[in-house]
A and B are shown apart, each in its own frame.
Chain A
Amino acid sequence: MIYIIDHNDSFTHNVVHQFSLYDKVECDNYNRINTSNLNKASVIIFSPGPGNPKNYPSTSKIYKKFKGKKKMIGICLGFQQILFCEGAKIIEQKKIYHGFQSNIQVTNNKSLFQKGKKFRVGRYHSLKLKEPFKIKNFDITMRCLESKVAMAFENDKDKIYGFQFHPESFLTNNGNLLIKKILSA
């Protein structure tokens, strides 16, 4: 079972439908966590949402508790939340991407995806990862072709993955394939 933690977003149920294509999904709001579902889940998803990772300390606690024990995937805010828990700084960016379609590219040969491969994706983020960023076992694997902003990370050892863009958006081509590959990793 996949457990999705919703950060009051208006895109979370698109995420629910996307993951439901591959497994049973349960979804609860971040301040109404069902502990039994959380413990039962084989995968935990951190949803997109408004604001900054530091606004969601309860989600950070869950991440730290299950790191290395369960597969975890972060999307948009969820991506930032995981990196924030690992000590990264999340900062405002000059150009803001809300409802924006961008071309991104796999830039790292440690990725599950083929290096050099391009994707067209939908973005909804005000904040971004501050770089340089160096944390053990975490690799930035995709970047925006234009701005070079980090768009995905992978930690294959602990099975932790994150996308700054929205694989569930109608603006993302082949979003389902991305999710399928991460889930079977």
Chain B
Amino acid sequence: MNKQNQLESIHNSGKPYIIYKSRKGFDLFTNFSKKIILNNKNINSFLSRRYKSKSKNTDLFIGFFGYELLNNLINIKIPKQKNINFPKGIFYKPEKKINLSNNFKYKSQNSLKNDDFKININKDSYTKIFNKFKRKIKSGETYQIKICTKYKKKSRINALDFFCRLSKSNLAPEAFMVKDNDYSIISCSPENLITKEGSLITTKPIAGTVKKDRGMNKSKALNYFRKNIKETKEHNMIVDMERNDLSRICEVGSVKLSRTKIVEEYKDLFHYVSLIRGKLKKKIKNIDIIKAMMPGGSVIGCPKINTLKLLNKQEKENRNIYTGSFGYIKFNGNMRFNIIIRSILNFKNFSEISVASGVVVDSNAQHEFNENYIKAKALIDLFK
């Protein structure tokens, strides 16, 4: 059976599987022998348990940590929120791995019935929250904060069809999809939060995005970012914050900027990116790394703890997977995790898309509200 047929047969069999972007194409993981549903109690033992490496390419756990779980891990309590009771985190032990090329194909037969997405915060309430946070910036309680809005609608989607089309329009380096019996996630996340190999760790924050309009090329994009004071300041702040988070777990003097403020080109847009690396201290365990780095700062704001508290006090609805992390932990201790953004969660016949954009002192409510819509639109368009 060729790989294309294999993919279709796995999908049609209805068994759960996961696809994650690899360097050359995609990795598909399936035949799960274990499924661990995480909660605030078992996460510590899950992260501390050690497994014997049998040097198989399936010696790993793959899955995600939701936002609430990550807050709890660093002792930040989330007040009671509207909740769809989606699991706080799930990890799977695969027994089978298949490499897919970047051009895998799938076409769904079903047509979509399309009602409109509803947004949970309208422009007026958004502006109110925006102004409130702006006052918090003036008084120094936060330096940058990301307001999250959520688009929701009733729908049943074919996850593979969506993921296939999404990957065609936007081949993101941290894209993934999870298909299980009662939920699915598709994502074109561009942002790697943790790559750990041996004692080396890197993080690659993105702060700054510009659309590839006519005439925009890589060097013009760089020029745009350099001249744009707001983007530059936001990026600087994230770089210092990520240096800080790495410094908690890395040896003194080892935290270095490998790439500072470079432009990366994607199909429809340019990102302003830095790459920071460090050498882990000897006694550091994976749980320490996760606590130091998650939730990823670039999608929260700065300083992390106070900003998380301000956000949690404001938000009436659980973020679920949004701004959590998806990735894997290998039995040999190596890890790769992204930040879950630009994703669709499908659960109980509902699809939800969350987006956020930043309030800094010189941003404006109208602009950021629209920015949120632009970010969501690429995903909303998949429903057409």
Interface string of B204-240 (1 = CB under 8 A from A): 0000000000000000000000000000111111011
Residue B45 interfacial (CB < 8 Å) = no
Which residues of chain A from 60 to 95 have any CB-CB distance to chain B below 8 Å in the complex? Answer: 77, 92
Cβ-closest chain A residue relative to B233 = A99
Contacts A98-B144, A171-B236; A10 near B360 (Cβ below 8 A): no
Question: Is the beta-carbon distance between A11 and B303 smaller than 8 angstroms?
Answer: yes
Considering residues B140, B237, B243, which has the most beta carbons from chain A within 10 angstroms of its beta carbon?
B140
Question: Is the beta-carbon distance between B302 and A10 smaller than 8 angstroms?
Answer: yes
Give the residues in chain A near B343, CB-CB below 8 Å. none
Partner of A50, one of B140, B233, B241, B244: B140
Question: Is the beta-carbon distance between A127 and B247 smaller than 8 angstroms?
Answer: no
Nearest CB on B from A46, distance (A): 15
Partner of A20, one of B252, B302, B305: B252
Q: How far is the CA of A51 from the CA of B297 in the complex (A)?
A: 19
Question: Is the beta-carbon distance between B138 and A124 smaller than 8 angstroms?
Answer: no
Nearest CB on A from B103, distance (A): 40
Give the residues in chain B near A51, CB-CB below 8 Å. 139-141, 306
Contacts A10-B244, A14-B240, A99-B233; A126 near B255 (Cβ below 8 A): no
Contacts A51-B306, A98-B144, A99-B236; A126 near B297 (Cβ below 8 A): no
Nearest CB on A from B279, distance (A): 12
Residue B361 interfacial (CB < 8 Å) = yes
Q: How far is the CA of A76 from the CA of B285 in the complex (A)?
A: 32
Q: How far is the CA of A169 from the CA of B260 in the complex (A)?
A: 13
Give the residues in chain B near A100, CB-CB below 8 Å. 233, 236
**Interface residues of A, dominant DSSP:** mixed
Q: How far is the CA of A12 from the CA of B245 in the complex (A)?
A: 9
Give the residues in chain A near B140, CB-CB below 8 Å. 50-52, 77, 92, 125-127
Q: How far is the CA of A158 from the CA of B43 in the complex (A)?
A: 49
Contacts A11-B303, A122-B236; A98 near B137 (Cβ below 8 A): yes
Residue B257 interfacial (CB < 8 Å) = yes
Interface string of B245-262 (1 = CB under 8 A from A): 101100011010100100
Partner of A98, one of B245, B260, B361: B361
Q: How far is the CA of A20 from the CA of B252 in the complex (A)?
A: 7
Question: Is the beta-carbon distance between B137 and A96 smaller than 8 angstroms?
Answer: yes
Cβ-closest chain A residue relative to B310 = A50
Contacts A14-B243, A51-B306, A127-B140; A99 near B237 (Cβ below 8 A): yes
Give the residues in chain B near A101, CB-CB below 8 Å. 236
Nearest CB on B from A75, distance (A): 13
Give the residues in chain B near A77, CB-CB below 8 Å. 140
Number of B interface residues at 8 Å Cβ cutoff, please give it.
35
Which residues of chain A from 5 to 30 have any CB-CB distance to chain B below 8 Å in the complex? Answer: 8-14, 16-17, 20-21
Interface string of B109-137 (1 = CB under 8 A from A): 00000000000000000000000000001
Chain A: number of interface residues, binned into ranges: 20 to 34
Residue B162 interfacial (CB < 8 Å) = no
Give the residues in chain B near A98, CB-CB below 8 Å. 137, 143-144, 233, 237, 360-361
Contacts A8-B303, A11-B303, A99-B232; A50 near B237 (Cβ below 8 A): no
Nearest CB on B from A115, distance (A): 29
Residue B142 interfacial (CB < 8 Å) = yes
Partner of A14, one of B139, B144, B235, B247: B247
Cβ-closest chain B residue relative to A92 = B138
Give the residues in chain A near B139, CB-CB below 8 Å. 51-52, 92, 126-127
Q: How far is the CA of A169 from the CA of B138 in the complex (A)?
A: 21
Give the residues in chain B near A162, CB-CB below 8 Å. none
Q: How far is the CA of A169 from the CA of B255 in the complex (A)?
A: 12
Q: How far is the CA of A50 from the CA of B142 in the complex (A)?
A: 6
Partner of A169, one of B232, B240, B304, B306: B240
Question: Is the beta-carbon distance between A170 and B360 smaller than 8 angstroms?
Answer: no
Give the residues in chain B near A14, CB-CB below 8 Å. 240, 243-244, 247
Residue A143 interfacial (CB < 8 Å) = no
Give the residues in chain B near A12, CB-CB below 8 Å. 244
Q: How far is the CA of A124 from the CA of B297 in the complex (A)?
A: 16
Partner of B253, one of A9, A11, A21, A170: A21
Residues of chain B whose beta carbon lies under 8 Å from any beta carbon of chain A: 137-144, 232-237, 239-241, 243-245, 247-248, 252-253, 255, 257, 260, 297, 302-306, 360-361
Q: With contacts A17-B247, A122-B240 known, what are 9 further pairs, Cβ within 8 A?
A: A13-B245, A17-B252, A49-B303, A77-B140, A92-B140, A98-B237, A99-B143, A100-B233, A125-B140
Instruction: List 29 interface pairs A-B (beta carbons < 8 Å), by A numbering.
Output: A8-B306, A9-B244, A10-B297, A10-B305, A11-B240, A11-B244, A14-B243, A17-B252, A17-B255, A21-B252, A49-B303, A51-B140, A51-B141, A92-B138, A92-B140, A98-B360, A99-B143, A99-B144, A99-B232, A99-B234, A99-B240, A100-B233, A122-B236, A124-B237, A124-B240, A126-B138, A166-B240, A169-B240, A170-B236
